[in-house]
Amino acid sequence: MGEEKKGRTTAIISYITIVGCLIALTMNMEPKNSFARFHIRQAFGVHVMYHALAIVLTFTNIAQAALGLYFLYLVLALYGFFGAINSKKQLLPLIGAYFQKWFTFIP
């Protein structure tokens, strides 16, 4: 069984809310799987980006932008989710490469 098939379930779980990402992180501790790690980094980046921007929008009183932010969050999360389902290592558009660089602490 290939690397992608073994880490597929963990990769899929990582896109299901930030809690799912933390669960996937613990699932990938032993044995480590590079496919799952790739998707955990992507999902973690999407979740953190969404929550950070939502907090900023809350304090700047730009409530109208919240709907656009949520739509962007859903599109990126679904893009990664379907990549995990199809056993593909595809970077998220524009920001995926940064997530792989920034979140190297994820084993």
Question: Taking 80 as the threshold, does the pLDDT of residue 90 lie above it?
Answer: yes
Task: Provide the pLDDT confidence category of residue 14 given band limits of 50, 70 and 90.
Answer: very high
Between CA 54 and CA 60 the distance in angstroms is: 10
Contact in structure between 76 and 15 (CB atoms under 8 Å):
no
Model confidence at 84, pLDDT cuts 50, 70, 90, reads very high
Average pLDDT over residues 10-36: 90
Average pLDDT, the chain: 88
Residue 2 banded pLDDT, cuts 50, 70, 90 = low
Q: What percent of the chain has pLDDT over 70?
A: 96
The token pair that represents 40 in the structure block = 């955990």
Rounded to two decimals, the pTM is 0.87
